[in-house]
Structure 1
Amino acid sequence: MLNASFPAHWDTGLILDQLDSYGFCIVDRVYNNDYFTALNIECLSHLNEFRAAGIQNGVVSHIRSDHILWLDDAQVLAQQHRANLLALGKVFNQAFFMGINHVEAHFARYGIGEAYALHRDNPQQKNDRIISTVFYMHNAWQDNWGGELRLQDKHDAWHVIIPKPNRMVIFDSNLLHEVQISKQQRLSITAWLRHDRQTW
């Protein structure tokens, strides 16, 4: 049975304030070292199952080159992260009336030279994604290794966010953003808090 609450040290007041003011926020030291390390190991153990994200239904997309693995019950630790986000979604619902009722998520790996061009996660309101999150789970990262998340906030100002280990970025799915070229292997869980019209 997954714990349906997020870690107590997450500052929900700050998260809500930053989301309201800028459309995004950054949370550092998301998890304790033991869970973070175990989650990293779980991700690495499934690397041979990752598939090119730019190929869907035989159609090749030229805006991304990362590799992903959608989460299912086989990734027990990652499912706990997903449950934590769903609990956080309830906080967003109370504050912003978003109607979040589901979280979809996948592991993502950006190898050397891989990137994701400018895009929105909910273009022209065509899907049910409300809030996007990226949780970085590689063991180490240097500022010159690339792989930054470049994001335009709700006031049209641009921000470049370094993918530091154990950091999570939470942002409005309508915001324009990109992943810049990575110079090292970059691991994350990308997840979307959704307002689905169907019952899961």
Structure 2
Amino acid sequence: MEASLVPKSWNVEQILDDLDQHGFTIIDHAYSLEYVHQLVKECTSHLNEFRDAAIQNGVVSNIRSDHILWINENLAIAQQHIQALFQLSQSLNRAFYLGIKDVEAHFACYNAGEFYALHRDNPQGKNGRMISAVYYLHEQWQDDWGGELHLQDKNNIWHFIEPKPNRIAMFQSDLLHEVIEAKHQRLSITAWLRSDIGLL
């Protein structure tokens, strides 16, 4: 995959229309199966480095129980996904004047029994997160394994989005959402398209 290009499987016009009408969009079959396999391998080979996401600066939160690993320049396969999102952000900026300047992301692992309660990624415009994007990178998923993204769109309609392999769920960062308890290990990359420079 060319790191500088939005993948051909991404229908940019549809993405822009969905975000405009509903505040979220779904991209299925986002990448080649070869890339998916490489990404899963990169993620799973670093699982021992993941940390408890509920602990931030020594403070324990009770709204989430997943584990994360921030993506930096050493994770070259995941960087290709970040570059694709950054390229897409140029189209988002032209369409919606979001002023996106950066993409920050982490791997996320939800083991059986783990969840993320209702929240907003950018409550009341308190940070630079404009668009959130969750990419499901596990290679298989069954309907009864839980782990759905439960999202309220900009029209106040609720949706259950299944974590199907090779799917991207993209939405406005100020929308209310949660991750339903997983019954099987669920792997993803959570990314934020930011109007400021992120932490990494």
With structure 1 as the length reference, what TM-score do the two structures score? 0.97
Amino acid at match of 1:41: K
Q: Is the 8 A contact 2:101 2:197 kept in 1?
A: no
1:126 aligned residue: 126
Counterpart Cα distance in 1 of 2:9 and 2:181: 32
Q: What percent identity do the matched residue pairs reach?
A: 58
Superposed, 1:108-123 pairs within 5 Å as 108-123=108-123
1:87 aligned residue: 87
CA distances 1:106-159 after superposition (whole Å, capped 9, x unpaired): 000000000000000001111000000000000110111000000000010000
TM-aligned CA distance change 1:141 to 1:48, over 3 Å:
same
Give ranges in structure 2 of 5+ residues lacking alignment: none
The residue matched to 2:48 in structure 1 has which SS? helix
With structure 2 as the length reference, what TM-score do the two structures score? 0.97
CA distances 1:27-85 after superposition (whole Å, capped 9, x unpaired): 00000010011000000000000000000111000000000000011110001100110
Superposed, 1:158-173 pairs within 5 Å as 158-173=158-173
What count of residue pairs does the alignment treat as equivalent?
198
TM-aligned CA distance change 1:96 to 1:74, over 3 Å:
same
Counterpart Cα distance in 2 of 1:9 and 1:163: 18
Counterpart Cα distance in 2 of 1:107 and 1:9: 22
The residue matched to 1:168 in structure 2 has which SS? strand
Superposed, 1:21-32 pairs within 5 Å as 21-32=21-32
Counterpart Cα distance in 2 of 1:124 and 1:9: 33
Q: 1:197 Cα deviation (Å)?
A: 6.4
Counterpart Cα distance in 1 of 2:44 and 2:157: 35
Q: Which runs of 4+ in 1 moved over 3 A?
A: none
Counterpart Cα distance in 1 of 2:100 and 2:62: 31
Amino acid at match of 1:196: D
Counterpart Cα distance in 1 of 2:162 and 2:129: 24
Amino acid at match of 1:153: D
Counterpart Cα distance in 1 of 2:31 and 2:3: 14
1:187 aligned residue: 187
Give ranges in structure 1 of 5+ residues lacking alignment: none
Q: 1:9 Cα deviation (Å)?
A: 2.4
